[in-house]
Amino acid sequence: MKDSGIDWIGKIPDEWEIEKGKRIFAQRNERGNTINLELLSPTQKYGVIPQTLYEELTTYSAVKLKEGTDLSQLKTVHKGDYCISLRSFQGGFEYSKYEGVVSPAYQIFYAIKNIDECYYKYLFKDQTFIAKMNSFTMSLRDGKNISFSDFGNTYIPFPPLSEQTKIAGFLDKKCSEIDSIIEESKNSIEEYKAWKQSVIFEAVTGKNLSCKKKNSGIEWLGEIPETWEVRALKTIFRIFSGTTPKSDRTEYWDGNIKWITPADFKTEDVYVENGKRNISENGFSDCSLELIPINNLIFSKRAPIGKVCINKNEMCTNQGCLACVKKINLSIKFFYYLLSSLTEYFEVLGSGTTFNEISLTSFSDFKVLFPPLSEQTKIAGFLDEKCAQIDSLISEKQLLIKDLAEYKKSLIFEAVTGKRRV
């Protein structure tokens, strides 16, 4: 091994060379594509792919060109080219397996030496290479800017072609194996989450109990344990909403009163302690807000509908939340589980043009189960234990995914810089 003389690369095999990017690649400035005039979309996950395929593979809509855009005037991309995003450079350079054209917002380059394209595909996705490129970017108001000339004057590894091919083959195999395990782990997480929701729903509706049943009178509930009641939420909780003090009134903000919005707690959060901002005594009194006593429920009525948490401190909320303050003796944890399992039923009651929202009246009139207190406590205890077990399984999978992602990064770096011989 020898010192490459380049900090981000470090030592390389003796037979490897270091070259400036412009000695291996040149910028492509052609317009249109006589082979296939198809609009392509550069993506971090899939490389440069047809825009139609992008929309099939993701949940996002591709950026639309202005109506009447002449594709023949867009930048040419040939199979084997690489693409630089002029802005938001975060995931490295993208490799294209397709013929087509891209927006002028991208710079295209291609090999002028005999190379293994896949070796450089991996090099350009290496985190240390990306960090090096990011050091050249100029901050803009809405993103970052990087030019081909920055890359062209950057020294990169240039192994013998046979080595490039071996490394690319090795990384194809190993990365495919790692990605497969990651995908399986992600699927397992979704299965665990579905199992958890099923366990909660079965428990809070009494479906898992072997006892005498009766008709609940509610179509989606069906039969329930004979000793359980059906009550409207307004008979169990005092329900009220909050508001947002005017943002331009500085005297309303940054006080000692905790104030939260739906953005301050996640679906998986059981408890909430505080939000991102506090309000002042003036904001609290002038806006007629009300404090929610400790150990009650907060429900998001919009963005999205159905998140539930228990407040660990006294606090108030904005208009996107409903406070549920218990009026009678009950297990707050049981009702946390109950309400969190009914999201799809609350969503049906939502309406609105800008965003879906459930009204205070619809929520208050919603009918839920009310078991005897002893059973509420027993069910909450059972779910605490069972959900902790499932959450532990989910955490193990999440940790595995994190470890595999880090291993993949280190594997790519070690292989493309020759520190791991293959």
Q: pLDDT averaged over the chain?
A: 91
CB distance 25 to 112 below 8 Å? yes
325 versus 49: the higher-pLDDT residue is 325
Predicted confidence at residue 65, as pLDDT, reads 61
Arithmetic mean of pLDDT, 88-97: 80
Map residue 26 onto helix, strand or coil. strand
CB distance 282 to 297 below 8 Å? no
Q: Which domains are assigned to the chain?
A: 2-158 (3.90.220.20), 229-370 (3.90.220.20)
**pLDDT tens digits along 131-164:** 888 887 654 444 556 788 889 999 999 999 999 9
**pLDDT tens digits along 345-376:** 999 998 877 788 999 999 999 999 999 999 99
CB distance 17 to 155 below 8 Å? no
Q: What is the dihedral of CA 188, 193, 196, 200, to 10 degrees?
A: -160
Distance of CA 416 to the CA centre of its chain: 29
CB neighbour burial string for 146-172, b if at least 16 within 10 angstroms, e if fewer: bebebbbebbbbbbeeebbebbbebbe
Predicted confidence at residue 142, as pLDDT, reads 47
Those residues with Cβ within 8 angstroms of residue 30's Cβ, 6 or more apart along the chain or in another chain: 75, 76
Q: Which of 186-195, 207-216, 351-360 is most confident? A: 186-195
Predicted confidence at residue 303, as pLDDT, reads 83
Predicted confidence at residue 63, as pLDDT, reads 56
| The residue type at 366 | F
CB distance 277 to 255 below 8 Å? no
pLDDT bracket for residue 69 (50, 70, 90): confident
Predicted confidence at residue 105, as pLDDT, reads 83
**pLDDT tens digits along 382-410:** 999 999 999 999 999 999 999 999 999 99
